[in-house]
């Protein structure tokens, strides 16, 4: 594994009964990158996230995280190793307040000398959640719920963040704000990010590299412009050879 | 004061005292359901196991059941952790028919084992508290029931404090809300579930210790207690600890009022009516959350 590689997916397949959701998928992510994972509905993006995060076990292949094979390692240990994620549909702890939702992750991942309370505070400030510290998720807007989920994901030494459709359901202004937050995590905190997103123009502006899945297979991997003009990608998205993201 | 008013106040106060203990064993049942979605139909038998354990300590040492609480609590905690890891773990999150059948099978195994050891006879202890009464005007209360109520309130208070204020409690609540998301924030769901189930059984053990002060035990006792835990949990709200305690008190008060003003033989009838009414019209109970599964 290259020294600056934080994630390597090696020949991963996932079969559900007779359905092959992922077929021999391989990709790697380098430290500090923002990588977009795209593909039509049912392409296998969320399944790949499930396998990388450990919520699902791959039928075949390996997941190498920060140099260690974590294919059989539980999700909580992967989290403590520095990999975190959000869900396509926001999944907060409804019986905990905003602050508790974030603090619980910080506590679980903190080492003995870590100032996790200070970290929770600073993450809430970064995400403009301080005024909502004592609110429960059910009282909040979708945008705030998404921010809490991101806050919960980045505390506790998060080095690799998987974002699953973080912008879906948001207004343009809310989406712009969240994109700014996500990019600042990358540029200011050095968090490596893999994003699944359907708002392609936004993704193209965020990501340095795009990986395209279709029917569970990687059909393209490269710079956004390169991928946008890829014949297979255009066919997968539009069934024709027009520019895929135009 | 008319005799009807005296009877009413006596029934309400006795119901409150007995209800504390009902609440105590109902919160154990509710905890297992709230965190793991396990409907532990063996919970009544675990309370009964606690009663027999306290009885055994009494036989061996002559110690009052209240003094046996630490040892019986630890014993039931170990039994609970073992039961969870060996049997219930595979059913977490799935209140399936298989899970219900397994729980019923466990309850029968416990019954049979206890019957083999202690025989079918009803057994009780000579507790100092159980045989003395606090008399206040026309009212009288068993010291045993008062002590049991105090223990129950302390246990519920401590549990509520643990759940609301400690890291462990927050983890349990997080796992109860969403076990998969809890793992994603670094929580070890398996360990948390094991602890939660063990605590649920520990509470059953403590309830057994206080119950045997004034309620003799036989191998059928668990079966008689189980419906109360179930009804109290439904009334209070599935998965709500405070709700289960409140439900236990309501169950006992309804029993006492029925027994006083109608017939002791029919004291459980209104409970089943309440169960049906809540399931049909208020499925989230008094304090349950609508997000409860």
Q: Whole-angstrom distance between the N-terminal and C-terminal Cα of chain B?
A: 48
Q: Is B185 on the interface with A (CB under 8 A)?
A: yes
> Considering the domain boundaries, does residue B287 fall inside one?
no
Relative to beta strand A5-16, strand A19-30 is: antiparallel
The rounded distance, in Å, linking the Cα atoms of B165 and B143 is: 32
* Nearest CB to B177; choose among A54, A94, A105: A94
Q: Per residue in A6-19, pLDDT tens?
A: 999 999 999 998 88
**Quick one: what percent of chain A has pLDDT higher than 70?**
95
Q: Is B87 on the interface with A (CB under 8 A)?
A: no
Contact status, residue A211 vs residue A34, Cβ threshold 8 Å: no
- If you average pLDDT over every residue of chain A, what do you get? 89
For chain B, state the CA radius of gyration.
19
**Min distance A245 CA to chain B CA atoms (Å):** 32
> Considering the domain boundaries, does residue B179 fall inside one?
yes
State how many domains chain B has: 1
Residue numbers in B near A145 (CB within 8 A): none
**Min distance A235 CA to chain B CA atoms (Å):** 35
* Nearest CB to B181; choose among A93, A109, A156: A93
Other C-beta atoms lying within 10 Å of the C-beta of residue B86: 9
Q: Per residue in B193-252, pLDDT tens?
A: 999 999 999 999 999 999 999 899 999 999 999 999 999 999 998 878 889 999 999 999
Q: Per residue in B19-47, pLDDT tens?
A: 999 999 899 999 998 888 889 999 999 99
Q: Per residue in A38-51, pLDDT tens?
A: 888 888 999 999 99
Is it the case that residue B98 has pLDDT exceeding 60? Answer: yes
> Considering the domain boundaries, does residue B288 fall inside one?
no
Cβ separation A108–B291 shorter than 8 A: no
Is it the case that residue B122 has pLDDT exceeding 70? Answer: yes
Name the token pair of A206. Answer: 């965020």
Cβ separation B183–A79 shorter than 8 A: yes
Confidence at residue B130, expressed as pLDDT on a 0 to 100 scale: 72
- If you average pLDDT over every residue of chain B, what do you get? 91
Instruction: Work out the widest C-alpha separation in chain B, in whole angstroms.
Output: 63
Contact status, residue B92 vs residue B193, Cβ threshold 8 Å: yes
Of A165, A168, A205, A161, whose CA–CA distance to A186 is shortest?
A161
Confidence at residue A166, expressed as pLDDT on a 0 to 100 scale: 87
Contact status, residue A226 vs residue A193, Cβ threshold 8 Å: no
**Could you tell me the pLDDT band of residue B291, with boundaries at 50, 70 and 90?**
very low
**What domains does chain A contain, in order, with CATH numbers?**
1-82+159-246 (3.40.50.300), 93-157 (no CATH)
Confidence at residue B293, expressed as pLDDT on a 0 to 100 scale: 39
DSSP string, A117-130: HHHHHHHHHHTT-G
**Min distance A39 CA to chain B CA atoms (Å):** 24
Confidence at residue A1, expressed as pLDDT on a 0 to 100 scale: 55
Residue numbers in A near B180 (CB within 8 A): 55, 75, 91
Helix or strand (DSSP H, E) at B275 = helix B269-281
Over residues A127-147, mean pLDDT: 94
Domain that holds residue B71: 3-281
Contact status, residue A220 vs residue A29, Cβ threshold 8 Å: no
> Considering the domain boundaries, does residue B126 fall inside one?
yes
Over residues B67-90, mean pLDDT: 95
ipTM for the assembly: 0.82
Q: Per residue in A27-81, pLDDT tens?
A: 999 999 999 998 888 889 999 999 999 999 999 999 999 999 999 999 999 999 9
Confidence at residue A241, expressed as pLDDT on a 0 to 100 scale: 52
Cβ separation B174–A93 shorter than 8 A: yes
| pTM of the predicted protein model | 0.84
- Among all chains, which residue has been given the structure tokens 């502006």? A205
> Considering the domain boundaries, does residue B292 fall inside one?
no
**Quick one: what percent of chain A has pLDDT higher than 90?**
67
> Considering the domain boundaries, does residue B286 fall inside one?
no
For testing contact with chain A, the best of B164, B185, B189 (most A CBs within 10 A) = B185
> Considering the domain boundaries, does residue B290 fall inside one?
no
Non-local CB neighbours of A72 within 8 Å, separated by 6+ positions: A57
The rounded distance, in Å, linking the Cα atoms of A34 and B246 is: 52
> Considering the domain boundaries, does residue B59 fall inside one?
yes
CATH number, domain containing residue B110? 1.10.3470
Contact status, residue B225 vs residue B41, Cβ threshold 8 Å: no
């Amino acid at each position: 594994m290259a020294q600056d590689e934080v994630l390597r997916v090696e020949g991963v397949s996932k079969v559900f009964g007779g359905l092959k959701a992922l077929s021999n998928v391989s990709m790697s992510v380098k430290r500090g990158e923002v990588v977009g994972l795209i593909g039509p509905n049912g392409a296998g993006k969320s399944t790949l996230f499930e396998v990388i995060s450990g919520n699902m076990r791959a039928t075949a292949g390996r997941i190498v995280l920060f140099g260690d094979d974590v294919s059989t390692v539980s999700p909580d240990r992967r989290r403590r190793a520095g990999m975190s994620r959000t869900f396509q549909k926001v999944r907060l702890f409804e019986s905990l307040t905003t602050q508790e939702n974030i603090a619980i992750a910080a506590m679980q991942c903190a080492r003995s000398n870590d100032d996790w309370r200070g970290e929770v505070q600073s993450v809430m400030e970064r995400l403009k959640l301080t005024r909502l510290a004592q609110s429960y998720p059910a009282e909040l807007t979708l945008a705030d719920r998404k921010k809490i989920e991101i806050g919960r994901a980045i505390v506790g030494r998060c080095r690799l963040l998987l974002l699953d459709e973080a912008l879906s359901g948001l207004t343009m202004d809310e989406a712009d704000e969240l994109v700014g937050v996500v990019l600042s995590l990358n540029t200011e905190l050095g968090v490596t990010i893999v994003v699944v997103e359907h708002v392609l123009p936004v993704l193209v502006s965020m990501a340095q590299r795009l990986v395209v899945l279709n029917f569970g297979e990687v059909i393209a991997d490269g710079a956004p412009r390169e991928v946008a003009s890829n014949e297979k990608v255009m066919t997968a998205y539009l069934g024709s050879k027009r520019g895929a993201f135009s | 004061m008319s005799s009807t008013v005296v009877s009413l106040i006596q029934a309400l106060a006795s119901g409150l005292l007995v209800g504390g203990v009902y609440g105590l064993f109902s919160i154990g049942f509710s905890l297992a359901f709230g965190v793991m979605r396990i409907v532990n139909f063996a919970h009544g038998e675990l309370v009964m196991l606690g009663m027999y354990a306290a009885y055994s300590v009494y036989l061996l040492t002559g110690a009052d059941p209240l003094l046996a609480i630490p040892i019986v609590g630890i014993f039931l905690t170990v039994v609970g952790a073992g039961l969870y890891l060996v049997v219930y773990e595979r059913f977490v999150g799935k209140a399936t028919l298989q899970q219900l059948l397994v729980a019923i099978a466990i309850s029968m195994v416990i019954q049979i084992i206890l019957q083999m050891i202690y025989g079918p006879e009803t057994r009780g202890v000579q507790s100092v508290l159980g045989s003395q009464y606090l008399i206040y005007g026309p009212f009288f209360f068993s010291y045993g029931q008062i002590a049991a109520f105090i223990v129950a309130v302390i246990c519920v208070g401590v549990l509520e404090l643990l759940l609301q204020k400690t890291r462990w409690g927050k983890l349990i609540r997080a796992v109860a809300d969403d076990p998969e998301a809890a793992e994603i924030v670094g929580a070890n769901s398996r360990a948390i579930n094991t602890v939660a189930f063990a605590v649920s059984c520990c509470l059953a053990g403590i309830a057994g210790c206080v119950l045997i002060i004034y309620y003799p035990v036989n191998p059928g006792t668990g079966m008689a207690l189980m419906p109360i835990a179930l009804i109290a949990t439904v009334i209070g709200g599935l998965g709500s600890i405070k709700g289960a305690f409140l439900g236990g008190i309501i169950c006992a008060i309804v029993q006492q009022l029925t027994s006083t003003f109608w017939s002791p033989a029919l004291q459980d009838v209104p409970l089943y009516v309440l169960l049906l009414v809540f399931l049909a019209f208020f499925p989230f109970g008094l304090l349950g959350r609508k997000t409860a599964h």
